Structures are given as C-alpha cells and as structure tokens.
Homo-oligomer: A and B are copies of this chain.
Amino acid sequence: MNLKGNGLYAQSGGVTAVINNSAAGLITAWQEALTRNKDHNLNLTKSDLDDLPKLYAAKNGILGVLNNELERIDNYTHAQIANLRSLPGGKFGSCRYKLKNSGDEEAEYKKLIEIFAKYNIRYFFYNGGNDSADTCLKVSNISKKLGYLIQCIHIPKTVDNDLVATDNCPGFGSVIKYLATSVLEASIDLSSMYRTSTKVFILEVMGRHAGWIAAGTGLASKDSTKPPHIILFPEIKFDQDKFLAKVQEVIALNGYCVVVAAEGIKDSAGDLIAASKEVDAFGHAKLGGVANILADIVTNKLNLKCHYAIPDYLQRSARHLASQVDVDQAFAVGESAVVFARKGFDSIMVCIERISNAPYQWQIQSVSLEQVANKEKFMPRDFMDKEGYAISPKCREYLSPLIVGECYPPYANGLPAYL
C-alpha cells in the first residue's frame, strides 16, 4: 500500500549506542516506499513529486513536536544514513518529558495532534521504552477520539531490556557486550594483582527494576566459578550478611572476588540501597552510588582492599563495541515500522520474535500497544541460580546470541569518526 501522508519520527528517553540504526532503518524503508510511489506515478511533474509523503524527525523527542521543531529526513543521502548507523546517542535529540494529562482535556496530547494536522502527519513513529509505549498508545487513543486519522507505531529501544512481548530490546545487546567485555578485562587485571593489591572489585551497572543488564555480565565466564563471581539483581532482596559470607567464600576459593551490582538493588524492606531524594520527570528515583556503599561494607566489615567502577553513560553509548546482532535488530525494527505503516497497522509496537537459539534465528512481528504499555519484564526466577547470585544455564542460552558479532565504527586519527 502507498504511504498516504507524512510521517513523524521521534526518539524518546535514555538513548542507546544503536538507536540511530532504527532511524536509519526507518529512513531507508521510507525511501524505498517513495520509490514505489514514484514508479506508479511516472508521468508526474516535479511539483507533484514534492507532494510525495515526507518523513520528519522531531528535535529532542516529543518536545520538538510541541515546539514545532521538525526536520525533513526522507532526503537523507546514502552517506548520511551510513553515518547515522555508526553514531551513538540520539541524532535528533531525545527527552525525558511526560506529556501532561489535564483531566479529561488531555491538553498536551491535543496540542500534539494539532501539530500533526498542521504537517499532515499520518504516521507517528515513536522510538523508546516503556514510558514512550504508553505515550504512543495515548496519542493513538486520543486521535481516534478526536477523529484525526493517524497510525501510531512504537519502535522499541531500551538498554534495560524490560519491554514485554519482544525477544529483546534494541540497545540491550550492545550494553551487555560492552559490560561483559569490561568485566572480563577488569577481572584479568585483578587476577594479576590481587595477592598484594585489590581483593574485591565491584562494577555498578544500570538497571533500576530489572536485572537484565547485570545478568548480561554473566556472559563474561562460562560458569559462576569464574568472574563475575557475584551478581546482585534488583529482583533479589539484598542480604548484607549473606553477601559478605559469599564474598568470603569466593575469596577463600579464588583469592579475589568480582561483584556486579545493579543500581536498583533493594534491602529486605524493599528500599533502594542507593536511594536518593532526586526523581526524574517520570517520578522515578535517580539512582547511583551502590558501588561505593558496597565497597564501604566490604572494606569495613571484611577489611579487604576494594575498588569499584561506575561506567554510567559509558555503558549505553559504547558504540565502539556494539553487538552486530543488536545493530541488525535496531535497523530491522525501524525498517519494519514502515512496512507495518504501509499495511495500515495502528497502535502497535514492532517486536522481535526468536525462532531458535542455536543458530540464533529471529523475525520481526508486531504486537498491540495495549499488551506492552506500562508493563515491565523482569528476570524470571529460573534465569538465576538457586542462590540468586548468578545466571542460570537457561538465562545464558537466552543472552548468548545477543552479543554476537563486532560492528566497529570507522576511525580517523585513532578515534571513532562520529559525524
């Protein structure tokens, strides 16, 4: 089916190392669709061609729509698309901004739709995580209520890997490839030095509620006798005494101990170990500082020399070590968003379906946004071992294919040539 109006693409929430690949996939598929439109209309004049459906990107996510800051992207050249594919961060800018519901009036949503109408936007492609899926669903519902024809298609993206109904979330494979490599390298460093230096190394990784990222570091070893020796998941209540006993057990066995801690681990009362008074635009507590708290505990209670690392944004922007599978999937979900748009789909999320583990085979599907919005996918209990400090073979089987393949950016003078 031909495109029946203009499209709008916006990036939302925390960016990833590969989110621009979804933009690249979207633009590529849009251009292909236009070529087909052209083929059907060979006798059109230039001014008719100008009437072909345009694809816009909003500057800084949904804020760009409210601020009337749109940019044409359907005219991207091959070179520009290639640059997009290598670039981490959000090329068009992203935002953490929750649209305001003012009672029944749904004020900001209505404003959004006014601007859609002004630009004849008939396809809304929203590239984000949980919160954006909810926004995307609301836009779809309100536009129907107002009688404005638009297809809302959510393109998944989140390093947290916590969207339901998709095998995994683009951005996740690269973050765990980077972190598993980092744990592996730091563990080799530690193993060279622990006899006279640091005995315990703690790596703090992202993950407020779900332990997927922490779990991914488990790929650094074939089993839990090798580092990382202890993984602290947000799904498992943190028990200080049990943790310290485990550290001592590992030290007795190996001489040193490597710990990975998700930022969102909680105590037995359910309170965050690293609670802070700050909250983000969605009301989520801003975390950070788990590593130093754990290092203090280890140092003071066990009198062991301890180091810690907090990669913070480094982990989600490490395009230099992106997973090829992740890059491919990020591109594919963007590309397929146009395919679903042309098929007339509305209020859906593009998702990845796993066909087999080994060899890893997958295909693109769609799922109703109702099934996705406001849901979070946690680590199932059987993805952790009995003790709750390591990943299970089942989890390893799930995670392993997601980090396969290297997709290096081009370099110039020793640094990635990010344009």
A→B interface (CB under 8 Å): 11, 14-15, 17, 60, 63, 87-91, 93-97, 177, 180-182, 184-186, 188-193, 195-198, 201, 219-220, 278, 280-281, 286, 288-289, 291-292, 305, 307-314, 316-321, 323, 400, 403-406, 408, 411, 413-416, 418
Q: In the complex, what residues of B have CB within 8 A of residue A17's CB?
A: 185
Q: In the complex, what residues of B have CB within 8 A of residue A181's CB?
A: 320, 415-416
Given contacts A182-B314, A313-B201, contact A89 B188 (CB under 8 A): yes
Of B90, B189, B408, B415, the contact of A193 (CB 8 Å cutoff) = B90
The distance in angstroms between the C-alpha atoms of A292 and B312, with both chains bound, is 12
Check B88 against A185 for contact (C-beta < 8 Å).
Answer: yes
Given contacts A63-B195, A312-B309, contact A89 B317 (CB under 8 A): no
* Chain B residue nearest to A278 in the complex (CB): B305
Pairs A–B under 8 Å by Cβ, sample size 21:
A15-B193, A17-B185, A88-B185, A89-B185, A96-B193, A96-B196, A180-B414, A182-B314, A184-B416, A185-B319, A219-B415, A288-B307, A291-B310, A292-B292, A307-B312, A309-B311, A311-B311, A320-B321, A400-B413, A404-B413, A406-B408
Check A186 against B314 for contact (C-beta < 8 Å).
Answer: yes
The distance in angstroms between the C-alpha atoms of A89 and B87, with both chains bound, is 30
Check B314 against A185 for contact (C-beta < 8 Å).
Answer: yes
Given contacts A89-B192, A219-B414, A411-B406, contact A313 B309 (CB under 8 A): yes
Given contacts A309-B312, A403-B415, contact A192 B318 (CB under 8 A): no
* Chain B residue nearest to A16 in the complex (CB): B189
Of B186, B196, B292, the contact of A281 (CB 8 Å cutoff) = B196
* Chain B residue nearest to A93 in the complex (CB): B192
Check B197 against A280 for contact (C-beta < 8 Å).
Answer: yes
Check A316 against B404 for contact (C-beta < 8 Å).
Answer: no
Check B292 against A188 for contact (C-beta < 8 Å).
Answer: no
Pick the most buried of A91, A184, A316, A323: most chain B CB atoms within 10 A of its CB: A184
How many Å from the CB of A400 to the closest CB on chain B? 7
The distance in angstroms between the C-alpha atoms of A117 and B154, with both chains bound, is 73
How many Å from the CB of A57 to the closest CB on chain B? 12
The distance in angstroms between the C-alpha atoms of A190 and B318, with both chains bound, is 13
Q: In the complex, what residues of B have CB within 8 A of residue A291's CB?
A: 310
Q: In the complex, what residues of B have CB within 8 A of residue A196's CB?
A: 60, 63, 95-97, 281
Check B192 against A11 for contact (C-beta < 8 Å).
Answer: yes
* Chain B residue nearest to A188 in the complex (CB): B89
Check A323 against B89 for contact (C-beta < 8 Å).
Answer: no
The distance in angstroms between the C-alpha atoms of A176 and B400, with both chains bound, is 30
Q: In the complex, what residues of B have CB within 8 A of residue A278's CB?
A: 305
Q: In the complex, what residues of B have CB within 8 A of residue A405's CB?
A: 414
Q: In the complex, what residues of B have CB within 8 A of residue A316's CB?
A: 189
Q: In the complex, what residues of B have CB within 8 A of residue A11's CB?
A: 192
* Chain B residue nearest to A401 in the complex (CB): B414
- Taking A89-B188, A97-B196 as given, write out 9 further A-B residue pairs in contact, using a Cβ cutoff of 8 Å, ordered by the A residue number: A11-B192, A90-B193, A181-B320, A185-B314, A197-B280, A198-B313, A288-B308, A308-B312, A309-B312
Check A88 against B317 for contact (C-beta < 8 Å).
Answer: no
Q: In the complex, what residues of B have CB within 8 A of residue A15's CB?
A: 189, 192-193
Q: In the complex, what residues of B have CB within 8 A of residue A313's CB?
A: 185-186, 189-190, 198, 201, 307, 309
